[in-house]
Amino acid sequence: MQACHNQSQLMRSNILYIIKIYLHPKYFVDTH
């Protein structure tokens, strides 16, 4: 149960990360 919760939380953070990169490519390039 805990593993399932962690996986869903990780997937949500990954989606937010991808959206942030997609919306702010310049920000992504500057930070990395």
Which DSSP category does 1 fall into?
A: -
Q: What is the pLDDT of residue 6?
A: 75
How many whole angstroms separate alpha carbon 7 and alpha carbon 5? 5
**Nearby residues of 7 by Cβ (< 8 Å), 6 or more positions away:** none
Q: What is the pLDDT of residue 20?
A: 82
pTM above 0.75, yes or no: no
Q: What is the pLDDT of residue 24?
A: 78
- pLDDT (tens, 9 = 90+) of the chain, 32 residues, equals 576 777 888 888 889 888 887 887 776 666 55
How many whole angstroms separate alpha carbon 1 and alpha carbon 31? 35
Tell me whether residue 3 is exposed, middle or buried, using C-beta atoms within 10 angstroms of its C-beta: 0 to 12, 13 to 18, 19 or more. exposed
